[in-house]
Structure 1
């Protein structure tokens, strides 16, 4: 039987943070953390990257684009001047496992540590199931599932090598739980369901090293790509907000807090869990 004092034991990290006299909620502080964000050159990944920087982390963005979004340099300047942190860019395709591991190993070696990951790299294709080619399906799964797996593996290897506990976060989707009415994406939805299950299995294996693995499942997000989609299918701009309980679409900024929460000590007892942020879409 547990002694009464055991029931009220607090994680050591919280005591350490509190002893500094930090204002606010010290368990959300990411100061000194070295984090990687794959697929962070633009959109949701870049917005979450900015939140991690504001919380005090040093962030390395990995993406296949030759150059990141024009906003990237401004965010990097803010990181250095306003937050005393650093933002770096490394071009790599998550399907290139050799290059991916070399880059992650170099990042960890440079800092003698590595503390976590947001795996946001992914592709989308809207095609009826009867028209999908084998090549299309393989490309989708290779990026959205194998790419996430190999990125997580590369990061976890270095975390274990440098004796660092921490957190891995995969960007899933509400589409990994339900079929989207009027949105024909069978391979994409299947890939996101695989990501949710992958996270649960990695969490079960890597928990002994102090590595937590969780997912974020967004609802419909208004990005540049979605805005272009609305031009092609204007009815979706009217229909999609009505399909959730808040009657609006989300924006990348709606997921900033979730990124900091899952990579910080604030979620220290949370693993193998999907954090679905969909405005209640799936709960109807």
Structure 2
């Protein structure tokens, strides 16, 4: 009797399995920035379209979950985007479908900018647009950002990455150098965020702003004497919280709803850091020993985090500081 019951159960389970096996879910499609993972989920190169619903609309789960990273048709600004980390983050936004305007004070962007622009146009049909402007020049900055917003009647996001560095002991720091450092690293970030927020309010875009701070805004780096740089990055972390508080609520006219967060990178291998090593201002070995992974980071390791903060994937996140430092601050 027991054996007959067991046979019936197995047969029933088998019929359910046959029914389920005939259902073929649509393959998961990822944004281009996640291309290295694509082959794990689907062999199709077709891109998943998105309805661009507002933040208030719930997203379906399952095979459409990662569509929240799709920023196709959206317009972004990256300050400090002519080279280095800013350029790398701008590339990530283009790879995910964004139209990206890079602002920098360089008369001509780094040669890597032109190479990136050509590659992105060829591979994903995206575009990097360069504008020469100093983030400390409020009038020029407001004009450029207003023109960018007017082009397509929208501005969806900002990455404020423009910054300078100076290694000088506190006892030797000239007041003019302090003012210069803060004018770029703090005031320039403030002015950039404000100019972009004005356009978001004007076109009633629930945008997202990402301020590039540093783990140096949370700790004093061993073996690296940069008191003003570190202080300026601490100010950027606090600025993100205050702007998030001011701009987060929706207004009766439909404006507002702007999210503001910060990313605090750890030590990154860039030409500027290599110059620090060459001058003896820092030790590569010491910096590697100071984190839990035993190595320095690469600029491309911050692409996905920036995309997360500027996309609908982080729609309930604001006023936060995302520390990505290989565990340096976790000891």
Is 1:103 matched up with 2:159? no
Aligned-residue offset at 1:12:
4.4
Shift of 1:78: 2.8
Match of 2:116 in 1: 75
Counterpart Cα distance in 1 of 2:247 and 2:135 = 21
CA distance in 2, matches of 1:86, 1:148: 24
1:127 aligns with 2:168: yes
Distance 1:22 1:135 in 2: 55
Matches of 1:103 and 1:38, distance apart in 2: 12
Aligned to 1:202: 243
**Deviations for 1:224-257, whole angstroms, at most 9, x for unmatched residues?**
1111222222871111101011111111011111
Who is 1:227 aligned against? 274
Superposed, 1:1-284 pairs within 5 Å as 11-13=55-57, 15=59, 25-208=66-249, 209-233=256-280, 236-284=283-331
What TM-score do you get using the length of structure 1 for normalisation? 0.92
Give the secondary-structure state (helix, strand or coil) at the position aligned to 1:107: helix
Instruction: Give SS of 1:121's match.
Output: coil
SS of corresponding position for 2:278: helix
- Equivalent residues, number: 272
- C-alpha distance in 2 between matches for 1:11 and 1:217: 25
Q: Which has the higher contact order (CA 8 A, sep 6+)?
A: 1
- What SS does structure 1 have at the residue aligned with 2:308? helix
Take 1:162 and 1:12, find their aligned partners in 2: how far apart are those partners? 18
1:94 aligns to what SS in structure 2? coil
Question: Distance between the aligned counterparts of 1:211 and 1:83, measured in 2?
Answer: 28
Secondary structure, aligned partner of 1:247: coil
CA distance in 2, matches of 1:84, 1:156: 28
Q: Which moved more, 1:229-238 or 1:46-55?
A: 229-238
Which one is further off, 190-199 or 225-234?
225-234
Moved more, 235-244 or 102-111: 235-244
Q: 1:58 to 1:14 in 2, by over 3 A?
A: farther
Check the 8 A contact 1:240/1:249 in 2, yes or no: yes
Q: CA separation in 2, counterparts of 1:72 and 1:180?
A: 30
- 8 Å Cα contact 1:13/1:265 also seen in 2: no
> Highest CA radius of gyration, 1 or 2?
2
Return closer, same or farther for 1:11/1:34 CA change in 2, 3 Å cut-off.
closer
Deviation at residue 85 of structure 1 after TM alignment: 2.4
Instruction: For residue 25 of structure 1, give the secondary structure of its aligned residue in structure 2.
Output: helix
Gaps of 5+ in 1: 1-9
Relative distance call for 1:11 and 1:169 in structure 2 (3 A) is closer
Give, in whole Å, the separation in 2 of the partners of 1:76 and 1:232: 32
RMSD over aligned Cα, in angstroms? 1.8
